[in-house]
Structure formats: structure tokens, C-alpha cells
Amino acid sequence: MKEGRLTEPEQDSARFYVGWALQVDPNGKATREARETLGRALLAQAHLAIDRRDFAQAASLLAAAGDIAPESSVQFVQQLLIAARQEADIDAWDQLLKTAEERLRQDRLIEPADDSAKYYLSTLRSVNPGNAGLASALQDLGQRLVAKARQAISLGQYDAAHSWLDEAGSVGYPSAESSTALREAEAAAAQRHSLATVISASELTLVKSVKPVYPLRAERAKTEGWVELDFIVTESGDVKSVTVRAASPVGVFDSAAIAAFSQWRYRPVLEEGRPAARRCRIRIRFTLTG
């Protein structure tokens, strides 16, 4: 005991020799005194271990003191250990929430994997699902993830948008907002696919056309030609994003073609029964008559 070797090594410790003495001479004065001294030492060391939050060591010392120190004294220190563990747990939970909120402010939502808002909130949910601040923090994270998805949609990054929405779902945020964003991403991706394929204007149903004004210089020079235009027919049938793909002669009829064609209208293209924007192409010819 003077050397501080209360429980270790197992076969050469104060606990070992007192246990041996209790078997050989349980009622001897020296045995009783050694038992009392060791019991106080074990409980004192357990108390110190609790103070430094070395709970494993405290539990080990209490186990060693179980049949050495008075039962009431052991139970008292055991209650101290339980209370200290609960306090440490609360401190740890508070720190997890605090760190998660800090990562949210830093916009470190899911990366790094072991130092992100998602990581700390997921950890907190696994150890203390009823934490008072957990639900609102998860709500904040989910909203931020959906906002990231919407931003990706606006940039045409539809795979990234799906990834952000999957992350929102993984933290328990299957909100109406998330579902709406998912539909938007799918619709935008489908539209991108549609706009990637150019169809001929001859496949469309023309509703309104405006005849181009023949450029005066070209008419005086008796110049004829054509302009090939790429354009988008919107969901409402309007003609938008008109650009010159090719022309002959170059630059002569471009402005006249665009000015007139921008006023054209078509019947909207239907995809799965719904109007959809499509990229199209048309060649407008300029020929002189008479």
C-alpha cells in the first residue's frame, strides 16, 4: 500500500495480500486493520479517478473495493461515479451540438466526413436522440442541404442536386421542400435531355408566322440566300433563343430572319402528355420574285 500498488500487479498487490490474509486469518487484528486501510485507499483513489474523469479506472477500483471496504462507503462512491458520468455525458452532448452548429455556420455540411455538421449531429442522435437542440439543428442542416440542391439545379448540375437531396434524406429531412426540389431536378434534367436533341421545324405544327422583310441592299443587288436558325420552342409555343447556325451569304439576311422568326409561334411539343421545351432548327430562304 505504501508503494501505491493497490491492485496491480494482480499477484503482487495490496489487494492480493489482503485477500490472502482474509482467507488465512479473517478475524486477526492486523488483517482487519489492513482491510480497513486498503478499503479507504481504494475509495480515495476511486474518488480521484472520478475527479479527473477516468471513469474506467474508478470503476475498476470500486470493483476491487467491493468486498474490502464497507458496503455503504462503496455505494456512496458508486453514486458519485454515476453522477459524474451523467454530467460528462451532458457536457459531451452539449459539445457535439455546439460543434455541429459551428460547422453549419462554416458551411461544412457534409465534409470532411468526420468533422462536419452531419457527422456531429448524427453522432449526437445516436447517443442522445432526445437532445433538446437536436431537432432544430437537423432542420437547419436539412434546409441548407436543399438550398445546395436548388443552387446546383440552377447551374445545371443535376447529379450534384440529387446528391445534396440524398444527403438531406439521410439526416431525416424528407420535407415537402425537399420533394419539390427533387421534382425540379428531375424535370430540369429531362428538359436538358430534350434540348440536347435538335429536331427539324418541319416536325412542329406552325400556329403563326411572320414574313421576313427583305433587306433593301440585298434586294437592290438582286441577292438571294438563306439563313439556318437554331431556336427553342417553349412550353407555351413561343420561339426563344434564336441564333444563326449558318447563312449564305454570311451576314446579309441574319437580322431580318431573326426579327421575323422571333414572332413565330408553334403548337407546344408534348412529352408524356405535358408541354415541353424543345430545341429546333429551320432554314429560311430569301428569294426575289418577279
Measuring CA to CA, which residue among 234, 226, 235, 255 is closest to residue 243? 255
Class of domain 198-286: alpha beta
CB 233 within 8 A of CB 280: yes
Residue 284 sits at φ, ψ, to 5 deg, of -105, 125
> Which residue ranges does the chain devote to CATH 3.30.2420.10?
198-286
Q: What is the dihedral of CA 216, 217, 221, 225, to 10 degrees?
A: -80
Q: Enter the pTM of the model.
A: 0.55
Span 225-277, pLDDT tens digits: 999 999 999 999 999 999 999 999 999 999 999 999 999 999 998 887 888 88
Span 173-220, pLDDT tens digits: 776 666 666 667 666 666 665 556 788 999 999 999 999 999 999 999
| Count of CB atoms situated within 10 Å of the CB of 46 | 26
Strands 278-286 and 274-276: unpaired
Separation between Cα atoms, residue 138 and residue 147, nearest integer Å: 14
Separation between Cα atoms, residue 179 and residue 176, nearest integer Å: 5
